Amino acid sequence: MEIDQSVCIVTGASSGIGAATARLLSGLGARVVLAARRTDRLEALAAELAGSLAVTTDVTVAEQVHRLVDRTVDAYGRVDALVNNAGQGLHVPLEELDPADLRAVFELNVVAPLVGMQAVLPVMRAGSGGAVVNVSSATSLRVFPGLGGYSATKAALNMLSQVGRLELADAGVTVSVVYPSVTATEFHSRLRAGHLVSGARRITPDPPELVGQAIAFALRSGEAHVLVRDPPLPIVPGESEGWGALLARQAPGAASTPALHEPDGNPGGRPSEGGGGGHPR
Ligand SMILES: NC(=O)c1ccc[n+]([C@@H]2O[C@H](COP(=O)([O-])OP(=O)(O)OC[C@H]3O[C@@H](n4cnc5c(N)ncnc54)[C@H](OP(=O)(O)O)[C@@H]3O)[C@@H](O)[C@H]2O)c1
């Protein structure tokens, strides 16, 4: 999509990656709708960004998400992009993982982006389509002890995004996932529980602006998976090695969602379509 003159909702815009992305998109000519719970921060940012709008929103409350979209349409007449960025970490070993914490972070990191997509879709369908970028985490592509709860929410977000990408292609809506690594934001001081794992302490954090560039790249290009690098790196699902090998292979083409097949060797079973060579298990 063309970012200049577009209308972009950014959740989690009160700090870190969301604020950096809002600044970048605004600088590229977008009218940015800033959503998060901390009104003072949103209003300060809105005062900085010409043509932007601050809408205090708790994204875990569906009515507030729908109100956010309604306010956007009232102000600008359409929604071209949704950046589902609001999120929280949960960095504790499984033995200590409080199910209540996991449920809460699941609501924020998975259910809220789903509700956000559902809220903007009627508007995008009625217009000329749109773009959704879901902010995941590179931790969802590898198995890191101590991050099970958080990584599970982001892995769930990845799958929702991939399925959504196929389901929504006919509506002209692209769904992309951006995978940040350790980033210099408030994130690790605002974990739901736990702390930055020791391996991550050795990594030099990326600036949030770098993630913003990957998000802008995903919006412009419609790439399905974008790793935060300089320049942003598209990941190809199903590659035999590298990052792409870690992602489920997608069915080719939006309309050709493959049927579920019986496992190999089962009479009547057919080889999987989509070139993945695998079956649902
Ligand atoms: N920083 C990293 O190392 C890193 C790495 C990989 C992925 N990520 C992902 O990047 C995204 C942004 O994180 P960040 O690093 O920028 O962290 P951050 O500075 O802590 O920002 C998190 C944002 O989410 C918002 N938020 C939290 N709960 C919310 C709710 N219920 N409703 C609305 N907004 C809510 C916060 O605003 P309010 O508190 O004002 O509501 C804040 O603006 C997250 O999805 C995170 O999982 C971060």
> How many angstroms does the Cα of residue 10 sit away from the middle of ligand 1?
11
The reported pLDDT for the residue numbered 243 is 83
The reported pLDDT for the residue numbered 255 is 44
User: 201 in ligand 1 pocket by Cβ < 6 Å?
Assistant: no
260: left (phi over 0), alpha (psi -120 to 50) or beta: beta
User: 146 in ligand 1 pocket by Cβ < 6 Å?
Assistant: no
pLDDT at 249 over 80: no
User: 113 in ligand 1 pocket by Cβ < 6 Å?
Assistant: no
Write down the catalytic residue from 24, 34, 52, 150. 150
The reported pLDDT for the residue numbered 120 is 98
Which among 189, 76, 182, 184 is positioned nearest to 139, based on CA atoms? 182
For this structure, is 179 an active site residue?
no
Minimum-distance ligand 1 atom for the alpha carbon of 84 = 45
pLDDT single digits (tens) 185-239: 999 999 999 998 887 888 899 999 999 999 999 999 999 999 999 999 999 887 8
User: 153 in ligand 1 pocket by Cβ < 6 Å?
Assistant: no
The reported pLDDT for the residue numbered 253 is 53
Q: What does the mean pLDDT of the chain come to?
A: 90
Minimum-distance ligand 1 atom for the alpha carbon of 109 = 45
Q: Atom 46 (ligand 1): residue with closest C-alpha?
A: 87
Residue 240 binned pLDDT confidence (cut-offs 50, 70, 90):
confident
Residue 247 binned pLDDT confidence (cut-offs 50, 70, 90):
confident
The reported pLDDT for the residue numbered 107 is 98
Fold assignment, 7-246: Rossmann fold (3.40.50)
Minimum-distance ligand 1 atom for the alpha carbon of 200 = 3
Residue 251 binned pLDDT confidence (cut-offs 50, 70, 90):
low
pLDDT single digits (tens) 2-21: 999 999 999 999 999 999 99
| 133-154 mean pLDDT | 96
Q: Between 149 and 199, whose confidence is greater?
A: 149
pLDDT at 95 over 50: yes
Mutate to test the pocket of ligand 1, among 85, 189, 229 (most ligand atoms within 8 A of CB): 85
Give the integer Cα–Cα distance in Å for 205 and 182: 5
Domain boundaries defined on the chain: 7-246, 255-281
